[in-house]
Amino acid sequence: MEKLLSFSLILILLLGGGWSRGYCQGSQWQGKGSETLALGNAKVVEDNVAAARQNAISSAISKGLEFYLMAFLGEKAISEHLDTLIEAVIPNAKELVENYQVLKEVQIGDKYSVLLKMKINTKLMLERLREQGLLSAEAKPIRILFLVGSALKDSVEYWWADPNDMPPLSPTELVLLRAFQDKGYDLINRTTSLPGQDVSMDMRQPNLSPDLIKRWGEVFGADVVIYGKSSIDASGEISLLLVVVSVKDGEEHCRLTRVGSSATGADMEKIVAGLEDIVRGIMPSLEACIVEAGGARKVILRKFEVTLKGLHSYAQYKKLRDFMSKEIPGVKEFRQSRIGSHYVSFEVEFEGNEDKFANLIMYHDALPVPIQGVEKREGEVTFLVGDKGEQ
């Protein structure tokens, strides 16, 4: 059985040029999302049709998982970890299948065949792949759809009112697209990626529930949807609200709001500059939410020291300790390591580097104690506590 599985995977690698999204030309597999079709065959021995049917189902499940893993991991990861896949992942194929349905079955002579439709438990699959160290950098990047409206100047715009009209990208969309470029995400340009299906009228309203946001993500094949709106009032204050929703489960992972300023009656160029400042400040928190909602990126944990310098009271210490250990996404461990006059240090284990951690603190909307500055070097981040002018 192991030789057969090994041969199948090697054959896939040799014929890998025929892959496209959800389909392998010339194969017996077709998939969409976590659902897969596969054909399994078995020999009827001594007229035991029931046993042959079960063997054919097992064969289909193994084949379906093989092709699903190939599409998900990519050629490089499959090539590097073929032994691990054959020994530790594929033999446990049945536990990774959430449910299956026999669509067609037929017996011709002593050969029994079944056409199976099965749904992969993607959450469990990701856990197994992580345990085996198989989530390489070639794993598919998180695919993001921007579902963001705007009320800037005299117009109120939200493109999903009629997506087939292909309205041009709004200033807010352009700012977001530029901010996310070259960060390793798969960004959906909705002006060139029309929905592959009709959308219902309830999906065209300006205010959308998480379920409707999830449905928009499914229409465009996204992993994560960033939903929200930007606006400017008569005084020139610009506000931005963004909600991060996972398409997999429709869960809202975070809701971020931020305000900035622009001169009253400012032209669009100055309004865009104000939006860029807002997005620049919100990016660390936004990216942390996206990675959590996308769920498919390999997590790299870093250990470094965080020092709070210039503390004036136990209340400051407690507020900052609780805030950094409980409110900052990506913090896995937060242990006190040193204490002295007006300072305290902690050992931190975090999903990211020192720069990312410092930015999440400094740009956070709910910082409980003022921090006047930050000093960063490899292996350590020092926060200078207190208002400007305090020592």
Kindly report, residue by residue over 327-385, the tens digit of the pLDDT.
888 788 899 998 988 899 999 988 778 888 888 888 787 889 999 999 988 889 999 99
Note whether residue 309 is domain-resident. yes
Kindly report, residue by residue over 72-114, the tens digit of the pLDDT.
666 666 777 787 788 888 787 778 888 889 999 999 999 999 9
Cα separations (Å) of 265 from 270, 278, 343?
Answer: 10, 19, 47
* Helix or strand (DSSP H, E) at 285: helix 268-294
The set of residues, in sequence order, having a beta carbon less than 8 Å from that of 145 and lying 6+ positions away, is 188, 190, 216, 217, 220, 222, 224, 225, 226
**Residue 316: pLDDT band with limits 50, 70, 90:** very high
Q: What's the CA gap between 73 and 15, in Å, rounded?
A: 16
125 with 162, same domain?
Answer: no
Name the token pair of 170.
Answer: 């709004």
Note whether residue 391 is domain-resident. no
Q: What's the CA gap between 313 and 308, in Å, rounded?
A: 12
- pLDDT surpassing 60 at residue 139: no
264 with 209, same domain?
Answer: yes
306 with 287, same domain?
Answer: no
Who has greater pLDDT, 154 or 343?
Answer: 343
- pLDDT surpassing 50 at residue 25: no
Q: What's the CA gap between 259 and 241, in Å, rounded?
A: 9
**Which pLDDT does position 386 carry in this prediction?**
75
3-state secondary structure of 210: helix
Note whether residue 325 is domain-resident. yes
Q: What's the CA gap between 196 and 49, in Å, rounded?
A: 42
102 with 191, same domain?
Answer: no
**Which pLDDT does position 93 carry in this prediction?**
74
Average pLDDT over residues 167-191: 85
**Domain assignment of residue 227, given as a range:** 143-294
**Which pLDDT does position 308 carry in this prediction?**
95
Mean pLDDT of the chain: 79
The answer to whether the predicted template modeling score (pTM) of the entire model surpasses 0.95 is: no
Who has greater pLDDT, 390 or 310?
Answer: 310
187 with 251, same domain?
Answer: yes
- pLDDT surpassing 90 at residue 272: no
- Contact by Cβ (8 Å): 308, 369: no
**Which pLDDT does position 196 carry in this prediction?**
55
183 with 316, same domain?
Answer: no
- pLDDT surpassing 60 at residue 6: no
Q: Residue 277: which CATH number?
A: 3.40.50.10610
148 with 282, same domain?
Answer: yes
88 with 158, same domain?
Answer: no
Note whether residue 138 is domain-resident. no
- pLDDT surpassing 90 at residue 43: yes
Average pLDDT over residues 157-173: 84
Number of domains in the chain: 3
331: left (phi over 0), alpha (psi -120 to 50) or beta: beta
Of 275, 272, 224, 281, the residue nearest 250 (C-alpha): 224
Q: Residue 368: which CATH number?
A: 3.30.70
**Which pLDDT does position 71 carry in this prediction?**
65
288 with 372, same domain?
Answer: no
288 with 354, same domain?
Answer: no
Note whether residue 38 is domain-resident. yes
Of 58, 44, 57, the residue nearest 107 (C-alpha): 44
* Helix or strand (DSSP H, E) at 40: strand 35-43
- pLDDT surpassing 50 at residue 19: no
Please state at what angle helix 268-294 crosses helix 354-362, rounded to 10 degrees: 120
**Residue 2: pLDDT band with limits 50, 70, 90:** very low
Q: Residue 22: which CATH number?
A: 3.30.1660.40
**Which pLDDT does position 130 carry in this prediction?**
72
Q: Give CA angle at 352 (68, 363), nearest 5°.
A: 120
290 with 307, same domain?
Answer: no
Note whether residue 55 is domain-resident. yes
Of the residues 235, 260, 294, which one is the last residue of a structural domain? 294
Q: Which of 32-36, 129-133, 246-250, 271-275 has the lowest mean pLDDT?
A: 32-36
**Which pLDDT does position 45 carry in this prediction?**
94
Note whether residue 93 is domain-resident. yes
Average pLDDT over residues 194-203: 74
- pLDDT surpassing 90 at residue 237: no
Note whether residue 136 is domain-resident. no
Average pLDDT over residues 287-308: 76
Of the residues 102, 131, 160, which one is the last residue of a structural domain? 131
Of the residues 294, 315, 349, which one is the last residue of a structural domain? 294
169 with 272, same domain?
Answer: yes
* Helix or strand (DSSP H, E) at 65: helix 49-73
* Helix or strand (DSSP H, E) at 99: strand 97-108
